[in-house]
Amino acid sequence: MDKKIILKKLMEEVRKRMSSDSSGHDWWHVYRVYKMAVHLAKDERVDRFVVELAALLHDIADYKFHGGDDTVGPRVAREILEKRKIEPEIINHVCDIIAHLSFKGAGVKSEMKTIEGKIVQDADRLDALGAIGIARTFAYGGSKGRLMHEPGLKSVLHQTKEAYMKNQSTSVTHFYEKLLLLKERMNTKSAKRIAKSRHEYMVKFLKRFYKEWEGKI
């Protein structure tokens, strides 16, 4: 099993499948998560092959675009990996990571069992923070027909995945319902350090946003 060849071909397949997405869950999101996961893995003792496979396939069939069905992602990932003759234990590990990766509401636990899973989860969450995170938030909101902002609308800390999925609030409330919570939910020391500065950037952005919203200089 030539891991480099497998990863190269997998990248090509994922890119073809996801290149047309405009919701912020496109190939370039996957690319950034992959690069960040590889970076975070340098500071940990991990199975890097598992990390790379899971990072590349983590959004191959996101539950948000499949009616909330969080079994689709792991199933599609398994089909892809089996075609490439990956060892069963590796496939199981990757699929377990994908199954438990996503944020599903402020009150819903999504803890990872392995360091490989923690790394990929951190990498995915870091891409929801900072400048890229801001851009992705409004791209996703636009793709779902959501308002940018509605003054006076309160955010909700959803306690179930179902409530989170039914949420139809604005892009700005999404900061409070998910993004600003992520800094405290990072798993690795490296991710926590990176998340701190990206979190602070978003806080500054929101202050400026509200100021400009009111037409202030």
Which domains, and CATH codes, for the chain? 3-213 (1.10.3210.50)
Place of tokens 């409530």: 163
pLDDT (tens digit per residue) in 49-108:
999 999 999 999 877 767 767 889 999 999 999 999 999 999 999 999 999 998 888 888
- Position 40 scores a pLDDT of 97
pLDDT at 193: 97
- Rounded to 5°, angle at Cα 20 from 123 and 135: 50
Q: Give mean pLDDT, residues 137-161.
A: 92
Q: 168 falls in which pLDDT band (50, 70, 90)?
A: confident
Rounded Cα gap, residues 92 and 79, in angstroms:
11
Mean pLDDT computed over every residue of the chain: 93
Cβ–Cβ under 8 Å, residues 149 and 171: yes
Could you identify the residue written with the tokens 């071909």? 9
Side-chain-facing half-sphere of 121: CA atoms under 13 Å: 28
Between these two residues, 70 and 115, which has the higher pLDDT value?
115
Judged against a pLDDT cut of 90, whether residue 163 lies above it is answered with no
- Give dist(CA 153, CA 66) in Å, integer: 27
pLDDT band at residue 172 under the 50/70/90 scheme: very high
